[in-house]
Amino acid sequence: MKLRIVILIIAIILGIVAVIAVIGYINSIRSTVEEEVEKVEVLVAAENIPKETTVESMLAAESVKKEAIPRKYLANGVLTSLEKYKGYVVAAPINQGEQITTTKFIRPEDIGMSFVVPDGMVAISIPVNEIIGVSNLISVGDYVNVIATFEPTEEKELEEVLDEYLGEEAVSEEILEEFEEETGIAEAITKTLLWNVEVLYIGERVVYKKTVEEEEGTILESTETEEAFEEINTITLAVTPEDSEKIVFTEEMGLVWLALLPIDGIEEEETPGSTFKNILD
């Protein structure tokens, strides 16, 4: 009788142990499954994003969105925010639906640009804003016309400018008249300066300013903070050496505007330029 009781007790104990083991196994499986199916909101590409697109442009165009992805399918280094990547550009094309990871970005200064400059051409950058840059619709590979606007220049200022270009040569009245006649600088004028110019690069970078802490004349720390930065917007164009001089001259003496062209460019034609005299013709 006692033996039966002992056997029964052992059987009950073994049964309890087995039940606990089964429950533990089930809980382990459930935890694993839940972990695998648990979804995490991360950034994915809402559209195809070309190489060298700036983070600022991506955010403005809403090229990225948050999407819930099962944890088991998360890519290494996947991002949930781009705040720390302001001033960076896309290192390689990103396909629509692709997860946005840390390896997708690079600083503009780390990109070599010489390989994209066509033979016989030079790359020149001009500062732009949203208006000059056609509401940020210009992309790398597009073609633009460069439009120049010159304002009337005071004779004294004009003499100083010509002195710089002519060196010791005296600036006579004839030179002034010839210069004004050839450039139209005697009156306000807007004219297409260059046609079908290729856009090599759109620079929208953040230059961080160093903040320095001092104590009794001793520098304690020099750091770069995201709060102290200056944004520089530029568009880099492929032009001939001669045309690069025209752009620089226009930047120094007048204003530069850009006009976005169709994919295949536009046929060049001679335009008279617009002045107060002919604007209403």
Could you state, in order of their start, the residue ranges of all structural domains in the chain? 39-109, 114-152+187-275
Give all strands (DSSP E) within 184-246, no chain letters: 189-215, 218-239
| Residue 123: strand, helix, or coil | strand
Mean pLDDT value across residues 197-216: 61
Mean pLDDT value across residues 198-224: 54
Lowest mean pLDDT among 160-174, 203-217, 266-280: 203-217
Report the C-alpha gap between 192 and 147 in whole angstroms: 4
The owner of tokens 């992805």 is 69
> For residues 36 and 70, is the Cβ–Cβ distance under 8 A?
yes
> For residues 190 and 145, is the Cβ–Cβ distance under 8 A?
no
Q: At what angle do helices 155-166 and 173-183 cross, to 10 degrees?
A: 100
CATH fold for the domain made of 39-109: Type Iii Antifreeze Protein Isoform Hplc 12 (3.90.1210)
Each residue's pLDDT tens digit, 11-61? 677 777 776 777 776 766 666 655 556 788 899 999 999 877 888 888 888
Report the C-alpha gap between 242 and 121 in whole angstroms: 10
Can you give the C-alpha Rg of the chain in angstroms? 33
Phi, psi (deg, nearest 5) at residue 121: -115, 170
Each residue's pLDDT tens digit, 165-192? 555 555 566 655 665 555 545 578 899 9
> For residues 262 and 253, is the Cβ–Cβ distance under 8 A?
no
Q: Render 35-78 in DSSP notation, one character per residue.
A: HHH-EEEEEEESS-B-TT-BHHHHHHTT-EEEEEEEGGGPPTTB
Half-sphere exposure of 29 (CA within 13 A, CB side): 5
